[in-house]
Amino acid sequence: MNECGASLQEIFVELGFMVSIGTAAGVNMASINTCALAGCSKPVWASSPGREEPHLTCGNLHHQLLMAGRFNPNMANTYSKILERNAEGFCALSSCEDPPFPDHSWCSRTHYLQWLFDFTSSFHEDQLCKVHGCTRHVFVEEDSTRSEFCGWRHYQKYAMSTAMPEQSRLPRLQEASGPLENPIEAALIGFCKMSKIRKQHYRV
Domain boundaries, given as residue ranges, for the chain: 8-169+179-197
Res. 166 pLDDT band, cuts 50 70 90: low
Rounded to the nearest integer, the mean pLDDT of the chain is 74
Q: Is the pLDDT of residue 133 over 50?
A: yes
**What does each C-alpha distance from 1 to 182, 192, 195 come to in angstroms?**
15, 11, 16
CA gyration radius, the chain: 21
pLDDT for residue 46 = 81
Mean pLDDT for 161-171 is: 63
Measured between its terminal Cα atoms, the distance across the chain in Å is: 30
State mean pLDDT over 12-38: 50
Give residue 185's pLDDT band: very low, low, confident or very high (50, 70, 90).
low
pLDDT band of 54, cuts 50, 70, 90: confident
Q: How far is CA 75 from CA 72, 84, 140, in A?
A: 5, 17, 15
% of residues, the chain, pLDDT over 70:
61
Residues 6+ apart with CB under 8 A from 71: 127, 137, 138, 140, 144, 146
If you average pLDDT over residues 106-122, what whole number do you get?
93
Buried residues in 56-70 as b, exposed as e (16+ CB within 10 A): bbbeebbbbbbbbbb
The predicted structure's pLDDT at residue 154: 87
